[in-house]
Chains A and B, each alone.
Chain A
Amino acid sequence: MTTIGQPLDRSAVPSTPPNFRWLRQIGGTLLLLAFLALLWEGAKAFARANNYALEIGGLTISLSNFNNEQLPHLGDIARAFAEPAGRGAPPLYQFLFSQAMFTLWEAVRGFAIGGVFGFALAVLFTYSGLMQRGCLPFVVASQTVPILAIAPMVVIWMSRAGARDWAVPMIAAYLTFFPVVIYTLRGLTSVPPTALELMQTYAANGRAILFKLRLPNALPQIFTALKLSATASVVGAIIGELPSGSQDGLGIAVLDFARYYNQSPPRLWATIATAGLLGIAFFGAVSIAERLIVRWRAEESD
């Protein structure tokens, strides 16, 4: 018999084991990190060899930004993590870890508030063209106002309202709701016309269309937004801490170590590295959730 039209089981076709992809990904990241480290230390070595000044055609360019004050050795930054954070204090990494957890808790609350609010707005805009035309410009405009300008206002409002603990999360939410609105709206409305007509042939109600068609259709885009929001919420929390009068958090640590920069430059750099790692970790957590939930996507055959 002919095999045309016979079941074709593509899953039986051997493909590269997924671990290889992981390995390649990790390998690529390590390679990039090694390259950046080389660049960092190379620039420092070059500057020192030239006595931190370069003469080109009678013009002297200062390379003092590459000295150990301004740009510590990577090894010194790594070592700073293990050294005490202050006289008689536990090691810096312990201190930074607890500050990072404090900031993360603010960021997570902001992420949740911004995510829920952004999602609700997107659903509202999907069903009301009037609301979309009327409000979407303000949503966009809200992001042109610098967060640093708004943060003190939010701190004052939330303190007056007796919810001081929520000031920083609200500032983080301000940054996170925007991508969620934009991407979710696009996901909910970019439904193929025939997919919608199919629902009509079943005389499906609006609820079924939202939950069985629009929402699953939007999920990949929602996760794109959540990944952006995850890193934005960490940035928002750190910036929000600056005017908040808080005692804790990575933002406060940045302020403190900047004030005492001359005593120990690597500490500030260690704090900056911690902030970066925190953002990456949150991003990674959302990516894992995406992998678990958006499972239907065809594996790239690369």
Chain B
Amino acid sequence: MTAIISIQNLNKVFRAKDGVSVHALENINLTIKQGEFVSLIGPSGCGKSTLLRIIADLIQPTNGTITVNGKTPSKARQDRDYGFVFQAPTLYEWRTVLKNVELPLEIMKFSKTEREARAREMLRLVELGDFAGKYPWQLSGGMQQRVSIARALAFQPGILLMDEPFGALDEMTRERMNNELLRIWTSLPEMTVIFVTHSISEAVYLSDRVVVMSPRPGRIAEIIDIDLPRPRGAQTRDLDDFFHLSSRLRHSLREGVGAND
């Protein structure tokens, strides 16, 4: 398997105007293989979003090397190698659901017929086919987030970067969305997912590997392999291994915080 994302000795220091600097990421080393589902977990402020945004070339690392698809993040962004799902749905309120999903395709100069065909297909994938003509305000929060996932998938990027996409949802909806995400990921076997979350069960349920991060300064405390069988479903949550991995993850998170206090 080829490494799709490779990060070596990466640091990020934010320098505020008042001279106080925040060491958001310290000496990060991480390799992610093609087709992997990797979660980033850790307490608030440990640099999960920062790491994801560096991969996406939305911000620049202070030093260290990073390659995405064997290129610089900037080149990968120019080549539209990844789709990004923000914590908030970030839909454009003046566009219908269908037109929101078409947005990246418009920018990437797809033909009108292809745009619409693809957008409709993606909406079917997230089970919102009947809502193509609605405006975002007519949808619930969970539905809006599904639209934003459809939008990220519309141009079939090889990498999906997701920053706490289900953070604002209730537990039931979140589990439903987890299953939908796994179904989509399984149907696109080449697609790599990097998924930021606060939820231990979500991380264990979805991932091949979980990257545990600790705060101040943000670093990788541990990387845990999740060797639960796939396909995963309701029965997965009842497995003994699911409990073991969850409690291991919980301990790892606790230590990560404790080590710095």
Contact = CB atoms under 8 A, between A and B. Distances in A.
Interface size class of A (residues with CB under 8 A): 20 to 34
B172 A7 contact: no
Contact of A5 (B79, B93, B130, B173): B173
B88 A212 contact: no
Nearest to B170: A4
B107 A204 contact: yes
B135 A5 contact: no
B135 A201 contact: no
Interface in B27-79: 56-58, 77-79
B242 interface: no
A202 B107 contact: yes
B80 interface: yes
Nearest to B109: A208
A11 B140 CA distance: 12
A298 B107 contact: no
A294 B135 CA distance: 12
Interface stretch (A62-70, A175-183, A191-199, A227-235): A191-199
A2 B172 contact: yes
Interface size class of B (residues with CB under 8 A): 35 or more
Interface in B122-171: 127-128, 130-131, 134-135, 137-140, 142-143, 169-170
A7 B128 contact: yes
Contact of B138 (A2, A10, A197): A10
A199 B84 CA distance: 10
Given A7-B130, A7-B131, A219-B94, A198 B170 contact: no
A8 B139 contact: yes
A182 B94 CA distance: 22
B234 to A, nearest CB: 13
A38 to B, nearest CB: 42
A6 B80 CA distance: 32
Interface in B77-131: 77-80, 82-84, 86, 88, 90, 92-95, 103-104, 106-108, 127-128, 130-131
Interface of B: 56-58, 77-80, 82-84, 86, 88, 90, 92-95, 103-104, 106-108, 127-128, 130-131, 134-135, 137-140, 142-143, 169-170, 172-173, 176-177
30 contacts: A2-B172, A4-B172, A4-B173, A4-B176, A5-B142, A7-B128, A7-B130, A8-B139, A8-B143, A9-B138, A194-B88, A194-B90, A195-B90, A197-B58, A198-B84, A200-B57, A201-B77, A201-B83, A202-B103, A202-B107, A203-B77, A203-B80, A204-B107, A208-B107, A213-B92, A216-B95, A294-B94, A296-B93, A296-B95, A296-B135
Given A10-B138, A192-B90, A202-B108, 15 more contacts: A4-B172, A7-B131, A8-B139, A194-B86, A197-B58, A198-B84, A200-B57, A201-B77, A201-B82, A201-B84, A204-B107, A208-B106, A216-B92, A217-B94, A219-B94
